[in-house]
Amino acid sequence: MSDKDLEIPQPKPAEPTQPAPHPKEHRRATIALWISCIAAFFALLAATGSVWQAVEVRQTRFENHKALDAQAQDVERSRRAAEDSVRMAQRMSEAFARTVTLANDTLKINQQQLKTSLTHLEIDQRPWLEVTNTVHRTPFVELEINNLGKTPAYELDTRCSVMYVPTRPDSPGTRIFISTTAAQKLTGPASISQGMKGAFRYHLLEPQPMTFSTTLSQSETMNFAPLRFDCTLLYTDIFKSHHSLQWCYEFASDGIMNLCGNTASNYLSK
């Protein structure tokens, strides 16, 4: 027995079930592989771009959020600055109002002081008149008015009246007041300078005698005699203020005129 009988024969190779690839098929497969690689590359590139875009969007959102925060902080600072400005303006307005009030008070005080000073000046510089040397010579009254002030008296205007009574006190007649008019002042200056005197002369208009019946068959005529002489003198000073001097005299039995009361008086009327 030989060794060949002991050897196991090799199996025969299988017969091919597919036909051998065509040479162009290999080329097509290569091209398809390259196209797949290129597509994969572009897909990877697109994915990378998408990732980059997402990162950019996220970064943009972060920066926008950061900018919004900074803008919000700026707005808050602006709001605080505006509130501070408003408070400062209010304080300045209050300070200005206090200043205006103080200025008005000061102005009022100064005006009052000026008014007081002007009043004192007018009182010190104005004319002061008094009546002197009154004489009664029927039917006239003569008197002098003396200016004791420091400035002249202007626009002198006298308004006088005479009160008459019956010559017999037991007569049933009543007292009669006769008001004088401008024509009854015969003479008198229109102004009196300081330190000077002005002479005035008045005509006393006597009332007509009155006849009345004492009994059924008798009548009596009643005459009148002057009792009191009242006068008001109006005048103006250099300050255009108006003043008046009032006085009255009673007629005595001996023809002498006595001053009613103690003194004549001056009245200031603006």
Burial class of residue 61 (count of CB atoms within 10 Å of its CB; 0-12, 13-18, 19+): exposed
Cα-based torsion angle of the residue sequence 171, 177, 178, 180 in order, rounded to the nearest 10 degrees: 150
Give residue 9's pLDDT band: very low, low, confident or very high (50, 70, 90): low
Are 172 and 114 in the same domain?
no
In a domain, 14, yes or no: no
Q: What is the pLDDT of residues 97-125, one digit of tens each?
A: 999 999 999 999 999 999 898 888 888 88
* 176 and 264 inside one domain: yes
Structure tokens at 26: 């290999």
DSSP 177-188: EEE--GGGEEE-
Same domain, residue pair 89 and 198: no
Give me the CATH number covering residue 248.
2.60.40
Regarding whether 138 and 121 lie in a shared domain, the answer is no
Q: Which domain holds residue 117?
A: 25-125
Model confidence, pTM: 0.54
In a domain, 17, yes or no: no
Give the pLDDT band of residue 30 (cuts 50, 70, 90).
confident
Number of structural domains (the chain) is 2
Question: Is there a domain that residue 58 lies in?
Answer: yes
Assigned domain for 19 exists:
no
Alpha-carbon dihedral 226, 230, 235, 241, rounded to 10 degrees: -170
**How far apart, in whole angstroms, are the C-alpha atoms of residue 191 and residue 154?**
4
User: How do strand 154-166 and strand 210-213 relate by DSSP bridges?
Assistant: unpaired
Give the pLDDT confidence of 55-100 residue by residue, as tens digits: 888 888 888 888 888 888 888 888 889 999 999 999 998 999 999 9
| pLDDT (tens digit per residue) in 132-161 | 878 888 778 888 889 999 999 999 988 887
Question: For all residues of the chain together, what is the average pLDDT?
Answer: 77
Question: What CA–CA distance (Å, rounded) separates 135 from 201?
Answer: 10
